[in-house]
Amino acid sequence: NTKRTIYSPNFYLCFIAAVYLVVFHLSFFMFVWSYWKTIFTSPASPTKEFCLSKADKEQYEKEERPESQQEILRRANGGEKHKIKYCDRCQLIKPDRCHHCSACDICVLKMDHHCPWVNNCVGFSNYKFFLLFLMYSLLYCLFVAATVLQYFIKFWTNELPDTHAKFHVLFLFFVAAMFFISILSLFSYHCWLVGKNRSTIETFRAPTFRNGPDKNGFSLGCSKNLREVFGDEKKYWLIPIFTSLGDGCNFPTRLVIMDPEQLTVSSQNEPAKSSGASQPFPARPLSESQNRLLTTDCQWVESGPEEENVKSGMRNR
């Protein structure tokens, strides 16, 4: 009797229904949770340390020449020689990858875009939540479309009973399928951005470094790029809690091998640095980052005999 009960059609249908209920409510809960976090997480903005002092601010506003204004900004930013970006609206020095959002009227750290669907800026503080929102909404629509598919087929083959429910089945399948296709394209695009360590803004306007614009300047490899957004603890990757690495102001940059002609000039003008006859000293970037991404593994690439004096690495402003 026990075996007959286990393998009976009614038991099988009840088991399938229980599985469907668990998957449906789990995906729906994670979808709502990540959507809530994306909407109600305030965009991260630069702290007060990026604001000019009262004297520098007055001097900056009095100056009309861009060159003089840049000198004031460089002096306030520690004497750096590259161009400093300043937001006249927020009246602060913009860190790397920071942009002013005209809709929110604030500067947003690592701004990706302003999303009207969540009525919020997607940036450093909620980019992980936005990705999870896309993923769980994608799974939710896929689950709904897959479970309704058999009834949709019966509708077209006239096997479905002639009731008002068949129009509900038709509507539900088309809505789920259309949302699935549209979200799939958006989610795939942002997965590609995460793999390249780019924002939507940087895709259309490459960030500028000391050696010029470079769209891949922040890319550290797919694995480290993924960890920069989702964190080091993989058990928290699929949960909408903040685990992104860094402070949103400083970002590690990739190491770029210089031109061979510059290598020749550099090797003639500077003495070779090495820790031993057979162990060349690794190339060191011009600007180090405090991000843990470059402290867990070897920070510098090993250089060959002709490249041991290469100084690579860039800092965006």
pLDDT, one tens digit per residue, over 2-35 is 445 555 667 778 888 899 999 999 999 999 999 9
Ramachandran assignment for 63, one of left (phi > 0), alpha (psi -120 to 50 degrees), beta (any other): beta
SS3 28: helix
Number of domains in the chain: 3
Write down the catalytic residue from 90, 115, 249, 298. Answer: 115
Say if residue 36 is in the same domain as residue 159.
Answer: yes
Say if residue 100 is in the same domain as residue 167.
Answer: no
What's the pTM value of the predicted model, to 2 decimals? Answer: 0.75
Residue 244 lies in a domain: no
pLDDT for 61 equals 82
Domain end residue (candidates: 88, 122, 156): 122
pLDDT for 257 equals 44
Expressed as residue numbers, the domain containing 61 is 48-122
Say if residue 155 is in the same domain as residue 287.
Answer: no
Q: Give the integer Cα–Cα distance in Å for 199 and 106.
A: 18
Among the listed ranges 41-55, 150-164, 220-234, which one has the minimum average pLDDT value?
A: 150-164
Say if residue 87 is in the same domain as residue 180.
Answer: no
In tens, the pLDDT along 99-151 reads 999 999 999 999 999 999 899 999 999 999 999 999 999 999 999 999 888 88
Residue 185 lies in a domain: yes
Question: What are the residues facing 122 on neighbouring strands?
Answer: 113
Say if residue 52 is in the same domain as residue 171.
Answer: no
Domain end residue (candidates: 122, 155, 180): 122
pLDDT for 76 equals 78
51 an active-site residue?
Answer: no
Residue 313 lies in a domain: yes
SS3 234: helix
Say if residue 71 is in the same domain as residue 150.
Answer: no
pLDDT for 137 equals 96
Q: Give the integer Cα–Cα distance in Å for 207 and 205.
A: 6
Residue 109 lies in a domain: yes
Say if residue 297 is in the same domain as residue 155.
Answer: no
CA 296 to the chain's CA centroid = 20
Full DSSP string of 110-178: T--EEETTTTEEESTTTHHHHHHHHHHHHHHHHHHHHHHHHHHHHHHTT-S-SSTHHHHHHHHHHHHHH
Say if residue 279 is in the same domain as residue 304.
Answer: yes
Domain end residue (candidates: 76, 97, 122): 122
Residue 176 lies in a domain: yes
Q: Of 35-39, 58-62, 157-161, 166-170, where does the model show the most confidence?
A: 35-39
Residue 98 lies in a domain: yes
Q: Give the integer Cα–Cα distance in Å for 208 and 202.
A: 10
Residue 160 lies in a domain: yes
Q: Do 86 and 63 meet the contact criterion of CB atoms below 8 Å apart?
A: no
Say if residue 135 is in the same domain as residue 224.
Answer: yes
Residue 201 lies in a domain: yes
Say if residue 84 is in the same domain as residue 138.
Answer: no
Q: Give the integer Cα–Cα distance in Å for 87 and 51.
A: 10
Say if residue 146 is in the same domain as residue 39.
Answer: yes
Say if residue 65 is in the same domain as residue 164.
Answer: no
pLDDT for 293 equals 40
